[in-house]
Chain A
Amino acid sequence: MLWVDKYRPRTLDKVIVHEEIAGNLKKLVSEQDCPHLLFYGPPGSGKKTLIMALLKQMFGPGAEKVKLENKMWKIDAGTRTIELELTMLSSTHHVELNPSDAGFQDRYIVQEIIKEMARNRPIDAKGKKGYKVLVLNEVDKLSREAQHSLRRTMEKYSVSCRLILCCNSSSKVTEAVRSRCLNIRVNAPTEEQIIKVLEFIGKKENLQLPPGFAARIAAQSNRSLRRAILSLETCRVQQYPFTANQAVSPMDWEQYVSEIASDIIMEQSPKRLFLVRGKVYELLVNCIPPEIILKKLLSELLKKLDSELKHEVCHWAAYYEHRMRLGQKAIFHIEAFVAKFMSIYKGFLIATFS
């Protein structure tokens, strides 16, 4: 098991990083009335950890007995029947799923599943009507239609079903959904907090952390705790005992993106763009999400760029990131961004040096 999973705090009491939020959540649940919740924050900040701890707080150890199932959903959508296969994780008290996996048919998933959950409403030991919890991941990736139907089902079944939504950016969740939830912002942990966690893990694993080593990992982790722990583990695998100046290797795809960036800086021509396209394809084949590629590529390019160009380049990156959402094939937009960058950069070079 990866350390990331191994040292995940299981209960709200054991949470190290977001202690305040954990405390509030505990108070919220103990008062027996739980509203719909929307957790949002950057990746690696601990949203899922908080959610799972919260579930345990609500339902006790039963929430940890989960089973993974691939369920076929037959959905009657007006004129035709849609069959969808979706992986879901369920215990007696909650169901967790990634509705955006269903792609464009996510709307049906949201409606159908919530309906079914409302039907099988559990009755708890005291004979009191309980409620089930539905955890939906990546709500920001849901289509607009799905978010609208989410809103409707939220109201209709709110008696028997609580929703916990989880996403990176609340700006991609419609206002209607946001206003029906208690919004909980989960900040990215500070570097000090990350160092604290790393040292905690080091102690548990009986590792000798050289002074400053944890700080370096934390600095490279981009304030993602998960990332930091993964790096620590890979460093442990690469070389142990740690040396003070041991390199913290970046993820292989990140290295690859920075190669692409230097390719772009070196030459600006259709041929080079073609070469870059091939490399981006390579990343896409390995399922690296295109948004992340674009983001990483931008940050790599910015490192090598004259400051007067930065603003414009960022503008275009944002522009094409938006288009990527509107369109279907990410490569078109990534490529358009690269071409735009090439055009800007070449113009800049000519203006400066001639």
Chain B
Amino acid sequence: MGKRRPVVVLSSSSSEGQGEGRGGSATGGLESSKSRSRTAPPVSSKRPRVGKSRRVSSEASPELEVKFDWLSEDFCECLHEFRTTPGFTCTDGMELWVDKHKPRSLPELAVHKKKIEEVKKWMEERVKTPKEGFGNCALVITGQAGVGKSAAVHVIASQLEAELCEWMTPTPTLWQEYIHNTNSEIRYMSKLDEFENFVEKIRKYSLLHPMKIGGSSKPVILLIDDIPVTAGRVAFARLNKCLTTLTQSTQVPTIILITEYHKTESGDNATHYWEELVSSLERAGAYKVAFNPITVNSIRKTLNKICQEEKCHVTAEWIDQIAKASGGDIRHAITSLQYCCLKPDRFFSLPASSLSDSYCEMNSDKSNLLSNSSLEDGNPDCKISLPCGRDETLTIFHALGKFLHNKRVAVDLCARVAAVEPDSFPLQERFARNPLKMDTPEKILSQAHGQVQPIVDFLHENVLDFISDDEVDNVWLVTSYLSDADCLLGGVLRPTRHQLIPDIYEVESVAQSFAALVAIRGVLFANSKPSPSRWHTIRRPRLWQVEQSSRHNKTQMLLEKGEINNNSSLCSMSYIAAECRSAVKWLRAQTLLDVHKDENLLHYPEGREDNSDWSVMDQLKGSNSEESEEDDIEDW
């Protein structure tokens, strides 16, 4: 019975909805979501989040009652105050596989062994030995969603027979509720306030001291899973401070789970703060363990196991696809699998065939770019044909790196010629390229959520670094494609025709996406012999700075011009910039020379002065290189 104990979970409905892999979860109809009302009596407010999360299995109902006894007292108490939300009672068959197939023992965890060991060791140390020995009692586990952070903690805790006490996220207040409450004069309390109160209480009263919980001598571990969402700097600072003080002063082993977000995934700042939070917690003395995305192999293994248990037959290919598409998110993978098994007949009939077809094609003519790309265009990717794939996101720099490095599958010429299919175009030698070692550029672009203009600018700024030195022709090709892209964009961005909300079907946005593709594919195509790959930093386009300062200079010049002569007519910018200004510069310099004869002041703009130095150096360098060039020529 060691591991299989009944569980009573006090968890909020919101957390179930998000399914953060909460340890305790729905079982045999007992579980129902409860939310603590604000007027909880002292007893329950002292221990509202004592979620005794333990393993649950479907056959566990008899034990439930047994174990329930010692809990029943305050549990029932709680129940009175908790509003039970109906609707989460599931029968066995309908249960989510994610919950049903929760890992129950350490070997079942899909997380990397070393990480588990790390966490386990930490917990063991805190649980087994008296806590005075350790200065810090906090552990931060980071990792993207669905890598099994909570699951690992729960499994390990149950191994160590420790109690997990969770902070229960209060249910979000609906607007109607808020209105209702204000009418009945209940003050609204923000979730962050509640969280702060909670943390404050733990620190002050050490409520979670083992001795206080029903006399049980089990060690207690505090688990903070769902950190309140913070909007804006101020709220975040509060949260940060709150967690930091908790980390510094907690007497109970505390585990804080932080979900990593991709930066590009959402624009709002709240998701950007996690890094800062982690680092400040670390500074406060917390021990950090970072969970990596789960490897495809272990996801595959888990899925296979579930398939066996559920007795449903899914082809290995599908499992493979699901595992790959999940992007290291095991919860997602399991849900996808369940979805796939829901209606196997309908689901598999059509796409499976096309999938296998495309798969064969992909393998067979890796060498033929054209048919390959046409295939990919029609049916962008096998992953996407999966109805439940988790779309990966890329950072824009990642995408740029892919485009610029331009990695291709090495195929020798003979193979390429041999592999040309009869129905495809025979390409001339100079147009043929090896297949790309990446997804189609269109897909990468859509994953990166990139805006067109910045991408083109970045490509323009950086592409020259990636072209090997001798390939001047390729340089021209690249630049000419970029120039094409700019022309396409030039038509677009004239905001006389530009609308605030671009429609997908508008001519502009079509032209824009084409511009991006022309630029990207142009760069990919033209750079046929990339320079040997090495570390390049991707620079910020200097063009942006140039445009800004040129605008600044322009206004500056117009002002100057106004000072110099009484305007009898307006002058064109080109005249001012190109002729008038340099003449005026001479004049100015002269008058200055007249004033201070000793100072040899010439009023050049700073940039220009540097350049004159450069140019001298360039000439020196140039003369050297010219000599060497001539030598080369003679050698030939």
Contacts and interface: CB of A to CB of B under 8 A. Distances in A.
A144 to B, nearest CB: 10
A339 B472 contact: yes
Contact of A342 (B475, B493, B557): B475
A333 B475 CA distance: 13
Given A259-B615, A343-B473, A251 B543 contact: no
B162 interface: no
Contact of A281 (B486, B493, B543, B582): B543
A289 B578 contact: yes
B364 interface: no
A137 B571 CA distance: 8
Contact of B570 (A87, A227, A335, A338): A87
A52 interface: yes
B119 interface: no
Interface string B509-544: 000000000000000000000000000000000110
B587 interface: yes
B496 A343 contact: no
A230 B583 contact: yes
Interface in B472-495: 472-473, 475-476, 478-480, 482-483, 485-487, 489-491, 493-495
B205 interface: no
B472 A268 contact: yes
Interface residues of A, number: 81
B579 A343 contact: no
A87 B558 contact: yes
B618 A259 contact: yes
Q: Looking at chain B's contact residues, is the secondary structure mostly helix, strand, loop, or mixed?
A: helix
A200 interface: no
Contacts of A96: 569-570
Contact of B487 (A5, A104, A230, A323): A323
A132 interface: no
A317 B28 CA distance: 79
A269 B549 CA distance: 28
B128 interface: no
B619 interface: yes
B496 A274 contact: no
Among A98, A277, A336, the one with the most B-chain Cβ atoms within 10 Å of its Cβ is A336
B1 to A, nearest CB: 71
B472 A145 contact: no
Nearest to B467: A270
Given A1-B566, A5-B568, A287-B557, A269 B622 contact: no
A301 B156 CA distance: 74
Nearest to B579: A230
A200 B568 CA distance: 22
A281 B542 CA distance: 9
A187 B558 CA distance: 28
Nearest to A280: B546
Contacts of B476: 336, 339-340, 342-343
Nearest to B461: A277
Contacts of B564: 1-2
A270 B471 contact: yes
Interface stretch (A116-124, A170-178, A232-240): A232-240
Interface stretch (B248-256, B370-378, B440-448, B604-612): B604-612
Given A5-B568, A286-B608, A329-B486, A234 B583 contact: yes
A11 B16 CA distance: 88
A287 B554 contact: yes
B580 A332 contact: no
Interface string A330-354: 0111011011101100110000011
A185 interface: no
B612 to A, nearest CB: 8
Nearest to B636: A354
A138 interface: yes
A285 interface: yes
Contact of B579 (A227, A263, A329): A227
B479 A353 contact: no
Interface string B571-582: 011111111111
Contacts of B471: 270
Contacts of B549: 285
A87 B565 CA distance: 16
Interface size class of B (residues with CB under 8 A): 35 or more
A292 B574 contact: yes
B469 interface: yes
A230 B580 contact: yes
B586 interface: yes
A226 B575 CA distance: 10
A97, A292, A332: which has the most chain B beta carbons within 10 Å?
Answer: A332
B567 A89 contact: yes
A332 B483 contact: yes
Interface in B265-308: none
Contacts of A251: 578-579, 582
Nearest to B626: A266
Contacts of B573: 101, 287, 289
A105 B497 CA distance: 10
A269 to B, nearest CB: 5
A32 interface: no
Residue of B479, B608, B615 with most chain A CB atoms under a 10 A cut-off: B479
A208 interface: no
A193 to B, nearest CB: 19
Nearest to A77: B496
Given A282-B607, A339-B476, A2 B469 contact: no
Interface centre among B542, B583, B618 (most CB of A within 10 A): B583
A72 interface: no
A143 interface: yes
B415 to A, nearest CB: 30
B543 A331 contact: yes
B217 interface: no
Contacts of A277: 464
A249 to B, nearest CB: 8
A270 B476 CA distance: 9
Nearest to B621: A266
B489 A328 contact: yes
Contacts of A281: 542-543, 546
A48 B570 CA distance: 9
A43 B480 CA distance: 30
Interface in A87-108: 87-89, 96-98, 101, 104-105, 107
Given A256-B615, A323-B487, A288 B578 contact: yes
Contacts of B565: 1-2, 5
A213 interface: no
Interface string A247-270: 000011100100100110011111
A269 B479 contact: no
Contact of B586 (A107, A237, A347): A237
Contacts of B582: 251-253
20 contacts: A8-B568, A89-B569, A98-B572, A234-B583, A251-B578, A252-B608, A256-B608, A263-B622, A269-B472, A271-B469, A273-B464, A282-B607, A282-B608, A285-B546, A285-B549, A288-B574, A326-B487, A329-B486, A329-B543, A340-B479
Closest 4 CB pairs of A and B: A327-B490, A327-B486, A336-B479, A287-B577
Given A286-B550, A286-B607, 5 more contacts: A262-B619, A269-B469, A270-B467, A284-B550, A340-B479
Interface of B: 460, 464-465, 467-473, 475-476, 478-480, 482-483, 485-487, 489-491, 493-496, 542-543, 546, 549-550, 553-554, 557-558, 562, 564-570, 572-587, 589-590, 605, 607-608, 611, 615, 618-619, 622, 625-626, 629, 633, 636
